[in-house]
Structure 1
């Protein structure tokens, strides 16, 4: 990358992520958000709990932020679709690693139901410049917790309340289990389509082997077991700092390989990768969620060759991260073997679903998940914006891709 291109990229990132106040002086026609509820706020210092009323056609809903932890735990236990991402400890990890603040909201409806929206806020000089998210990129799905699951009318009420807020942008990305209660679109709300692969675990391992895995999948998984045994592959499981370090070492090696494949400077790609996925992130999750975070590391002759991190809570096990040394892991089918280990662990724990996350449009990754029996589930992310940030981010992404392509061409 030449110096001018590098300076341009830095400036654009500064405007987008560090100084959103600069956008206020740009002449842009803004789209209004349709408000379906009136909100009366009782002001309090940002460090103290806030309370306000949300007035709807069904009565008055009382809102409180942040959510008292004992109430959060009660609502969490009553929602059958709750995942590890919706644990209060997960929100604490986001705040400790990335400097976000707890912006969770509790809603008490007129009929006595309690709803919890786990959410974090990026601090800003003025509230109108703050960013709110449930949850930020790289931190999984958020959404609304409610006894028996959230209802469509409750989703509308929460969206209306968020629309009345003064944040620069508020984004909510519910998980696949709650997606049916969320609208296909809403006036004034930017809807970003997303998709994940989910394996149905109903019936346990017996049902998977006999009903859901194709003959090709069964042969591949049995081959992974046989190759692992013949090669002397050793699996270590837990949440210890040593396993976190082994996982992260593989992640950095994966980044370096990606840089070579794309003919990009390793230092640049590694810097991006460490900024997107810092070591402190995985250390915090493993330390804060010891009974939920499951790390599996495959070693050959003592050397890590593949690793996965899954998050097990309630009826859903989430395949959160997976990395490997392709040169060694691929011939041994180590990735498939670790997946088989995680799926069996989820079945033994009584989980109903094994959620494999988004694939970012990578065909090979989607095929890998499909071969494990994962079916596609559609969902969406909902963004309420005071400025067209989604369009700006998309343009910046295209600029970065163009710069990467130019750099790769020059190096080749």
Structure 2
């Protein structure tokens, strides 16, 4: 099956010699021959089309929007590599994708998304056929990058995972609360009895809660995050210097500030205060019918006695219900861990959200072996 670069959109040239150099990151159009018929691929994907499809796709996550890609590119060494696929029968879909700036293509990694950036995957208002899904992964397999990876949302795995011939599957999960029926139904039927007691205890305590949708509380949250790193290092038996370096590199303050600035009302920082001091906080992202718990942090000595964090989660879930969200994604955690059990107390159920990976060299496997060896050396423990 061939791939052809097109000129203007009206062109239908199929001459293999028509390929020509484009300015870096300038839109390019390709015509590919697939089992689903001819398909036009535009990269980077036009923003107006991406927003249109995201608005029509009821399963679009906050991390599948153009704003999320902009946050990646603004705070890391990334470039827009998103792809718009248009099939002969009129089906259109966008695959959010970033590559690495200033890196030879043969050493590049094109991913949806890189680790720590959450769920990516195709944005498509309609169900794709198996042939169309295979066509997308066949196109990705032709990329010259060293690594190509796509993290699927739970709703997509049935069709897309089966279509990824030649891609390995990395198991991941996410815990989600079904908000169907509104907060009354969630509180009475899904949130556990023990967690309801914790929330009521917090409501009787001297905790004050505010929500910031402007980014004003970014520095306050990050101070709590730094305090949490100390606690996490102790829990996980990780050297503090290593924990600080790893955590702040994965989640620098500038990244939070960028997300808060670009998402606006779509990024809420919930802050619990006790005696005028920040006790606990969480960040919730929202797009369309989906809310996502992105990060949380606390000063345990202030927050735990008054159960400030359960109260924040309860208020954030109620807020998502009032915004007509259908799901509340609480993120990934190790199976059977204390964190997974905590989320289950709020009615969160586990769903598979695999990462599909294709590499020309087994760099990810080597990285996993190295990380596993280091964890064994320091006797690392999952929270």
Q: Shared topology, TM-score over 0.5? A: yes
- Whether 1:144 aligns to 2:122 is yes
| CA distance in 1 between partners of 2:164 and 2:249 (Å) | 33
Do 1:174 and 1:381's aligned partners in 2 also have CA atoms closer than 8 Å? yes
Any idea what the Cα deviations from partners look like across 1:5-45, whole Å, max 9, x if unmatched?
Answer: xxxxxxxxxxxxxxxxxxxxxxxxxxxxxxxx543343423
| CA distance in 2 between partners of 1:355 and 1:179 (Å) | 17
- Whether 1:381 aligns to 2:359 is no
Structure 2: 5+ residue runs without aligned partners? Answer: 6-18
2:195 aligns to what? 220
- Whether 1:305 aligns to 2:279 is yes
| CA distance in 2 between partners of 1:262 and 1:319 (Å) | 22
2:88 aligns to what? 110
SS, match of residue 119 in structure 2: coil
Structure 1: 5+ residue runs without aligned partners? Answer: 1-36
Query: Residues 342-361 of structure 1: matches in 2 within 5 Å?
Result: 342-361=316-335
| TM-score for both structures, normalised by structure 1 | 0.84
Query: Residues 84-123 of structure 1: matches in 2 within 5 Å?
Result: 84-123=62-101
Any idea what the Cα deviations from partners look like across 1:149-186, whole Å, max 9, x if unmatched?
Answer: 54443321111100011010011001122223322474
2:174 aligns to what? 196
| CA distance in 2 between partners of 1:85 and 1:264 (Å) | 30
Do 2:25 and 2:80's aligned partners in 1 also have CA atoms closer than 8 Å? no
| TM-score for both structures, normalised by structure 2 | 0.90
The CA deviation at 1:262 is 4.7
SS, match of residue 354 in structure 2: strand
2:40 aligns to what? 62
Do 2:195 and 2:346's aligned partners in 1 also have CA atoms closer than 8 Å? no
Any idea what the Cα deviations from partners look like across 1:330-358, whole Å, max 9, x if unmatched?
Answer: 22111111110011001101111111110
Any idea what the Cα deviations from partners look like across 1:278-307, whole Å, max 9, x if unmatched?
Answer: 001100000000121111010101111111
2:12 aligns to what? none
Tell me the C-alpha RMSD between the 2 structures.
2.0
| CA distance in 1 between partners of 2:155 and 2:238 (Å) | 39
| CA distance in 1 between partners of 2:196 and 2:372 (Å) | 38
The CA deviation at 1:81 is 0.4
Query: Residues 222-241 of structure 1: matches in 2 within 5 Å?
Result: 222-225=197-200, 227-241=201-215
Do 1:75 and 1:145's aligned partners in 2 also have CA atoms closer than 8 Å? yes
| CA distance in 1 between partners of 2:334 and 2:4 (Å) | 40
- Whether 1:243 aligns to 2:207 is no
| CA distance in 2 between partners of 1:108 and 1:198 (Å) | 31
Choose from 332, 343, 348 the match for 1:369: 343
| CA distance in 1 between partners of 2:300 and 2:335 (Å) | 20
Any idea what the Cα deviations from partners look like across 1:40-70, whole Å, max 9, x if unmatched?
Answer: 3434233321221221133100001001111
Do 2:94 and 2:122's aligned partners in 1 also have CA atoms closer than 8 Å? yes
Q: In the superposition, relative to structure 1, how do residues 347 and 261 fare at CA in structure 2: closer, same or farther (>3 Å)?
A: closer
SS, match of residue 294 in structure 2: strand
- Whether 1:295 aligns to 2:269 is yes
Choose from 372, 376, 383 the match for 1:402: 376
2:16 aligns to what? none
- Whether 1:255 aligns to 2:229 is yes
The CA deviation at 1:124 is 4.3
Do 2:75 and 2:258's aligned partners in 1 also have CA atoms closer than 8 Å? yes
The CA deviation at 1:223 is 3.6
| CA distance in 1 between partners of 2:127 and 2:37 (Å) | 21
How many corresponding residue pairs? Answer: 367
- Whether 1:179 aligns to 2:157 is yes
The CA deviation at 1:240 is 3.5
SS, match of residue 217 in structure 2: helix
- Whether 1:46 aligns to 2:20 is no
1:80 aligns to what? 58
| CA distance in 2 between partners of 1:205 and 1:80 (Å) | 20
